[in-house]
Amino acid sequence: MSADDAVQLSLFAHRLSAICEEMGAVLKRSAISPNIRDREDFSCALFNRDGQLVAQAAHIPIHLGSMAFAMADVVGRFDWQADDVVVFNDPFLGGTHLPDITVVTPIFSQQELIGFSAARAHHADIGGRSPGSMGVETRLEDEGLIISPCYWFKAGEEQQQLPQRFQQQVRAYAERLGDLAAQKAACVIGGQRLVALADTGLDDRIAALMAVSEAYGRRAIADIPDGEYCFEDVMEDDGCGSGPLPVCVRIAIAGETARVDFSGTAAQAGGPVNCPLAVTAASVLYVFRCLMPKHTPQTAAVFRPISITAPQGCLVDANAGAAVAAGNVETSQRIVDVVLGALAKAIPDRIPAAAQGTMNNVIFGGKKGEDDWVYYETLAGGMGAHAGGDGLSTVQCHMTNTKNSSIEVLEMHYPLQVRTYQVRKGSGGKGRFNGGDGLIREWYVREDCHLSLLTERRATAPYGLQGGYSGASGKNRLCRDGVWQSLPAKGSWQLKADDLIRIETPGGGGFGVGKSKAGTTDERR
Amino acid sequence: MFLGVDTGGTFTDFVYYGDRELRFHKLLSTPDDPSRAIEQGVRELGLDSKQLHLVHGSTVATNAILERKGVRTLFVTHRGLEDLLSIGRQTRPELYELCPDAIEPLVQRDDCFGVSGRLNAGGEIVQDVSPDDVTHLAKRVAAENYEAVAVCLLFSFLNPEHEDAIATSLPDDLFISLSHQVLAEFREYERAATTFLNAYVGPLVQCYLKRLQKNLRPKHLFVMHSAGGVMQADLAGEQAVRLVLSGPAGGLVAAQAVGKQLGEESLLTFDMGGTSTDVALIQGAPAMTTEGQIAGMPVSLPMLDIHTIGAGGGSLAWMDEAGLPQVGPESAGAMPGPACYGQGGDAPAVTDANLLLGRIPAHALLAGSLPLNLQATRKVFERYGEKLGLSSEAAAEAVLAIAEEHMAGALRVVSVQKGFDPADFSLLCFGGAGGLHACALADKLSMRRIIVPVASGAFSALGMLAGRQQSEFSRSRQLSISNAGTTAILAQQFEALQSEAEKQMQGLTLQYERRVDMRYQGQGFHLTIDVTDDDLSGLVSRFESAHLQAYGHSLERDVEIMTVRLTAFVDRATPALPQLQASDKAAEIAGSSDVYGVGRVPHYRRSDLRPGCEYMGPALVLEDTATLWLAEEWNMRVSEHGHLLLKKPDKSQKHSPPSTQRGAK
């Protein structure tokens, strides 16, 4: 790379990521469902003509790595024409879990395919057996509509099959189609902007950017001492009676490359905690991305020096057909925990204790007259403490960063009332530095409805490091007729009017041996 | 006699208008008490303060929030929701930071108080506030010397009964902010944060303005607010959170006035300072937003949509891990400042790049008085160039190109991202450093016209004089357009807001602008649409075309109104800028110097330029505190009021071959 090229590439990288930001702005503002517009559970990206990620806005980490990992397979399946729009959600064909629907459009400049723009968003329902399609199922087909990559528009012509399938199977399908339209609009904008850059040698510039950006990944790994580092933690259960399920990692650092191997991890489970390899990759790549500098371009190439292997048919590389709803939102957090835990042995000053290790997925659903309603929320918790200070309290950790829904908005739309929304004081693990606190949220149920929970760290606790205590485990509780009872970490229930649901989310782990602060009741690890 | 004063920056700027004469003045600011500089300025200008109509852009509220120096404030909400402000939206600020620094919230948990009582989403009382809670609250306030109380209860914008009851129980001399009065709109976190900030800085603003009033005794004292209007000082104290953009708002108001004068209604404004750059879009009127933020907290009142990025003249260049050059976000600040300040700065800043390339002439004076140290600049660029494998000059060009890419990115956010093509706009450039980059930015964005207004160094103060007295009123009401009764309810809502306005702005002849926030049913974001008559179908079609413009598509879905908005204002003539004598004789060349890559270029003193002549780039136009780089292919003339109008002739119309043929040759 010549010095002049370096200047041009720096400019080019900024332009590409600005395009992705703009795609996100379009999607967020024109989407219909609260999950996309308010909670911002979506990501936008640009790819080269081979389906290699060349830019992505900093939206949701779980989307970043998984798109980088799996788009190449998808784009190879079509003979692309201008104004095609392809949609998919199949976890074993480019997707993550069924509610994450991806819209892809090819980008043509003067009849030549120059790349792709894609928008992935988490839809509030995809026609699974339970409202919100995030229940405890044992087969992928029960989790909802499986869309293998297929045309929504072919050369600009709408193909009726896809909308028909939504209409037949998906709750509040009109809202889904509105959201898909917003995703398509975002892709179109991304395409137009890339075409505007396509004057000369776009291919060469993309190739040069890819070549250069690999260096960020290599440098980050070179900063980690060579060696093999292992760590193990567990998913406490699969919601169907199996567990705990070990997640094991062995990371081999050699110079500028890393091998991440999950041998020893439990076999895939009956319940929905399985991950397609794309989700596992997203989790691993997230951790390494955190070790790279802030301005690192979001290309597939930064991850080239990292190889990932897992025994086929295990929890983190499940076979097609396995239930995966919680793999994306729960197991991914545990994968982050084990990768961080292993790296803590190599670079203890740069790695925090465990964060809450769950997204605390809470899904209410029911009928309002003729119409279905679904309300999906993930709850924040504590981040782990680190060598530099306390962990943050009541924030979304690691693989997600979605916002909460406004209490007023949810009370306007659903028969629920939020009674409590508080910091769970003292739930962060103690240490020289304390883990961040989790939170407490309580919903009063005004009408009979349905509840699904997909949570973790109820029976186990987020680990501390360097002698710090673990964070407090989370709790799920139901109050019916004045009597409190515990609910399991995962499951679906029919709720009655006047029920009260209370979720307490885990605190982050503590770091270092404390001076005089008393530990929590949790075990020191 | 009108006096506009902006105390926001290092200097306090004065613009005086009386007897058809415009005078400017500048003084070092007195940040510990900004009013001292104002009093001194009034004396130095020789004005009789008792005759003055004083309009003030104040950063008292903004600084108190940023420096966390507001008053001790108790936040009151429902029991169980006391942590509303610290939980916020649950997000972490940095996505890929494993070990982020702790965030200290503006309000401590001990300063949050929960009471009983609930309304439902229809505004009906489900549970009353217990009298015991109210008594307990009053005792707590008395015992702990709170100076202000902020109250935010759910759905209070539909029914203020509970918030009012709490206020009644508190002492009269306490500063009290009620959420239904500060912002009668849905979304409790945003409303609570806005209400809290209002209480947090209200007593400070009140006290400051009272002091100013007492010491100066002007005939009228007005303060510019974030929406670009001015409000009476006593009202500004009550609604202090409306002042967070008090300073920058002046610049946009002035820009709007200049644009109007020149017949240029579509402007992108560009205000580049040392550490940050503000950009905004004006189309007839400046774009507004209700998604403002300060110190990580939302301020959801309508305010001018000013987009700020952390890139300015002091932004530092560096080389990253992969060998790519980068600029910012780190800045040299005022100390040590860029290397050319000669205060020990040892990394190349954007200003250094301009100096090295000759776009700032070497003999220019910093802030009009200090000489620049070209030697120091050369040294840092030698080192930086060596690292990159470039000559010093090529490295400096790279720094400018990257800095300009950041700034163009900011301009795209306010234009392209909202569905506007910058090519349809003129770039209006003010502030100290903007003139060095205006031509390059315009080129990048295919813009063909640039305006460098008169008084661009005191532009915000000029805007103070142009601002009309104005207040915004709003109320959230979900109304489906397809409902038969909507027209009547809408009229009713506007009437209610109008009587609120008449109450607040008594004795004035008010005019009104009516708007509604509209969205497709179920969307989370709205577009604000002008209401010109009671024809709802016209409203819907305006909404649909706005949606198409902003997001590139429209939907087949019902449309609903979420919030009703009224702007009440007093019309008054803007002070006219004095006209310059035209002259068909070109200004004398004041000198010349070498600009890298261009050759020797002439200098003009801005004060010598008169309407009537055209000047061709390349050239440098010098002012005491600013330099304009008139690049090649650009030409410049002077308007009758002294604005510099830069234009790039459209060559393609003459002889450029169609682009398709170029490749064939």
pLDDT of res. B325:
93
Residue with tokens 């649909």: B544
> Which residues on A lie below 8 Å from B664 (Cβ)?
none
Q: Is A42 exposed, middle or buried (0-12, 13-18, 19+ CB in 10 A)?
A: buried
pLDDT of res. B10:
76
pLDDT of res. A1:
62
> Kind and range of the H or E element at A35?
helix A34-37
pLDDT exceeds 80 at position A523: no
- Of all residues in chain B, the one with the smallest CA distance to A285 is B96
> Kind and range of the H or E element at B561?
strand B559-570
The arithmetic mean of pLDDT across residues A434-462, rounded, is: 97
Q: What confidence category does residue A14 fall into, taking pLDDT thresholds of 50, 70 and 90? A: confident
Cβ distance of A14 and B323 shorter than 8 Å: no
Instruction: Tell me how long chain A is.
Output: 525
Domain assignments of chain B as residue spans, ordered by start: 71-95+104-193, 469-570
Quick: pLDDT tens for A486-515.
999 999 999 999 999 999 999 999 999 976
Region B469-570: CATH code: 3.30.1490
The arithmetic mean of pLDDT across residues A243-258, rounded, is: 97
- Of all residues in chain A, the one with the smallest CA distance to B189 is A406
Query: What is the three-state SS of B366-417?
Result: ECCCEECCHHHHHHHHHHHHHHHCCCHHHHHHHHHHHHHHHHHHHHHHHCHH
> Which residues on A lie below 8 Å from B95 (Cβ)?
58, 61, 401
Instruction: State the Cα–Cα distance between residues A229 and A140, nearest whole angstrom.
Output: 34
Quick: pLDDT tens for B405-446.
999 999 999 998 887 889 999 999 998 789 999 999 999 999
The arithmetic mean of pLDDT across residues B87-97, rounded, is: 93
Domain assignments of chain A as residue spans, ordered by start: 3-212, 352-525
pLDDT exceeds 70 at position A275: yes
Instruction: State the Cα–Cα distance between residues A394 and A499, nearest whole angstrom.
Output: 25
- Phi/psi region, residue A360 (left: phi>0; alpha: psi -120 to 50; beta: rest), is left
The arithmetic mean of pLDDT across residues A51-60, rounded, is: 87
Q: How far is CA B5 from CA A467, B53, B222, B272, B625, in A?
A: 58, 11, 10, 20, 18
Task: Please say whether the beta carbons of B287 and B420 come within 8 A.
Answer: no
pLDDT exceeds 50 at position A317: yes
pLDDT of res. B624:
78
For A301, half-sphere exposure in the C-beta direction (CA atoms, 13 angstrom radius) is 20
> Which residues on B lie below 8 Å from A184 (Cβ)?
553
Q: What confidence category does residue A245 fall into, taking pLDDT thresholds of 50, 70 and 90? A: very high
Q: Is B20 exposed, middle or buried (0-12, 13-18, 19+ CB in 10 A)?
A: exposed
Q: Is B515 on the interface with A (CB under 8 A)?
A: no
> Which residues on B lie below 8 Å from A291 (Cβ)?
98
For A414, half-sphere exposure in the C-beta direction (CA atoms, 13 angstrom radius) is 26
Cβ distance of A402 and B91 shorter than 8 Å: yes
- pLDDT over 90 percentage in chain A: 77
Of A216, A351, A423, the CB nearest to B83: A423
Residue with tokens 């009033």: B213
Cβ distance of A388 and B401 shorter than 8 Å: no
Cβ distance of A30 and B95 shorter than 8 Å: no
> Which residues on A lie below 8 Å from B103 (Cβ)?
392
Instruction: State the Cα–Cα distance between residues A42 and B379, nearest whole angstrom.
Output: 47
pLDDT of res. A295:
86
The values of phi and psi at residue B207, to 5°, are -65, -40
Nearest to B76 by CA among B170, B145, B159: B170
pLDDT of res. B367:
62
Quick: pLDDT tens for B597-642.
999 999 999 999 999 999 999 999 998 778 999 999 999 999 999 9
Instruction: State the Cα–Cα distance between residues A62 and A322, nearest whole angstrom.
Output: 19
Both structure tokens of A143: 């989790």
Q: DSSP letter string over B9-41?
A: SSEEEEEEEETTEEEEEEEE--TT-HHHHHHHH
Of A184, A216, A379, the CB nearest to B322: A216
Q: How far is Cα of residue B106 from the mean position of the Cα atoms in its chain? A: 23
Q: How far is CA B46 from CA A319, B11, B16, B214, in A?
A: 85, 19, 11, 19
- pLDDT over 70 percentage in chain A: 97
> Which residues on B lie below 8 Å from A407 (Cβ)?
81, 154, 188
pLDDT of res. B655:
45
* B contact residues 364-423, partner A, Cβ 8 Å cutoff: 388-390, 394, 398, 401-402, 405-406, 409, 412-413, 416-417
The arithmetic mean of pLDDT across residues A361-368, rounded, is: 92
Task: Please say whether the beta carbons of B73 and B196 come within 8 A.
Answer: yes
Both structure tokens of A310: 């897992």
Residue type for A25, please? A
What DSSP designation does A469 have?
Answer: B
pLDDT of res. B368:
62
Residue with tokens 């109320």: B475
Instruction: State the Cα–Cα distance between residues B244 and A298, nearest whole angstrom.
Output: 35
Q: What confidence category does residue A455 fall into, taking pLDDT thresholds of 50, 70 and 90? A: very high
Max CA-CA distance within chain B?
89
pLDDT of res. B366:
66
Of B92, B154, B522, the CB nearest to A175: B522
Cβ distance of A404 and B87 shorter than 8 Å: yes
pLDDT of res. A521:
42
Q: What confidence category does residue A522 fall into, taking pLDDT thresholds of 50, 70 and 90? A: very low
Cβ distance of B324 and A25 shorter than 8 Å: no
Smallest CA–CA distance, residue B461 to chain A, in Å, is 34
Instruction: State the Cα–Cα distance between residues B416 and B62, nearest whole angstrom.
Output: 29
pLDDT of res. B38:
95
Q: What confidence category does residue A200 fall into, taking pLDDT thresholds of 50, 70 and 90? A: low
Q: What confidence category does residue B524 fall into, taking pLDDT thresholds of 50, 70 and 90? A: low
Smallest CA–CA distance, residue B522 to chain A, in Å, is 5
> Kind and range of the H or E element at B535?
none
- pLDDT over 90 percentage in chain B: 67
Instruction: State the Cα–Cα distance between residues A339 and A192, nearest whole angstrom.
Output: 39
Q: What confidence category does residue A519 fall into, taking pLDDT thresholds of 50, 70 and 90? A: very low
Q: What confidence category does residue A201 fall into, taking pLDDT thresholds of 50, 70 and 90? A: confident
Span of B195-199, B343-347, B627-631 with lowest mean pLDDT: B343-347
Instruction: State the Cα–Cα distance between residues A460 and A491, nearest whole angstrom.
Output: 17
pLDDT of res. B533:
81
Pick the residue of B98, B112, B392, B417 with the most A CBs within 10 A to test the interface with A by mutation: B98
Q: What confidence category does residue B1 fall into, taking pLDDT thresholds of 50, 70 and 90? A: confident
Smallest CA–CA distance, residue B76 to chain A, in Å, is 14
Residue with tokens 């193990």: A232
Instruction: State the Cα–Cα distance between residues A408 and B455, nearest whole angstrom.
Output: 47
pLDDT of res. A419:
97
Both structure tokens of A297: 């371009």
The arithmetic mean of pLDDT across residues B197-211, rounded, is: 96
> Which residues on A lie below 8 Å from B101 (Cβ)?
388-389
The arithmetic mean of pLDDT across residues B299-317, rounded, is: 93
Residues β-bridged to residue A43: A120
Quick: pLDDT tens for B58-72.
989 999 999 999 999
> Which residues on A lie below 8 Å from B156 (Cβ)?
none
Task: Please say whether the beta carbons of A29 and B550 come within 8 A.
Answer: yes
* B contact residues 220-249, partner A, Cβ 8 Å cutoff: none
Task: Please say whether the beta carbons of B355 and B340 come within 8 A.
Answer: yes
> Which residues on B lie below 8 Å from A7 (Cβ)?
325, 388, 398, 401-402
pLDDT exceeds 90 at position B534: no
Residue type for B540, please? V
Quick: pLDDT tens for B30-50.
888 899 999 999 999 999 999
Print burial letters for A117-150: b (CB count within 10 Å at least 16), e (below 16).
Answer: bbbbbbbbbbbbebbbbbbbbeebebbbbbbebb
Q: How far is Cα of residue A318 from the mean position of the Cα atoms in its chain? A: 17
The arithmetic mean of pLDDT across residues B535-551, rounded, is: 85
- Of all residues in chain A, the one with the smallest CA distance to B554 is A30
Q: Is B104 exposed, middle or buried (0-12, 13-18, 19+ CB in 10 A)?
A: exposed
Pick the residue of B551, B555, B559 with the most A CBs within 10 A to test the interface with A by mutation: B551
Instruction: State the Cα–Cα distance between residues B328 and B400, nearest whole angstrom.
Output: 12
Q: Is A178 exposed, middle or buried (0-12, 13-18, 19+ CB in 10 A)?
A: buried
Nearest to A127 by CA among A165, A170, A85, A98: A170
Interface predicted TM-score (ipTM): 0.93
Residue with tokens 């301005």: A295
pLDDT of res. B547:
84
Task: Please say whether the beta carbons of B427 and B264 come within 8 A.
Answer: no
Quick: pLDDT tens for B464-514.
998 888 888 998 888 888 888 888 999 999 999 999 999 988 888 899 999
The values of phi and psi at residue A202, to 5°, are -60, -45
pLDDT exceeds 50 at position B656: no
pLDDT of res. B363:
86
Instruction: State the Cα–Cα distance between residues B68 and B501, nearest whole angstrom.
Output: 32
Task: Please say whether the beta carbons of A343 and A223 come within 8 A.
Answer: no
The arithmetic mean of pLDDT across residues B542-555, rounded, is: 81
| Choice between B570 and A338, residue whose per-residue pLDDT is larger | A338
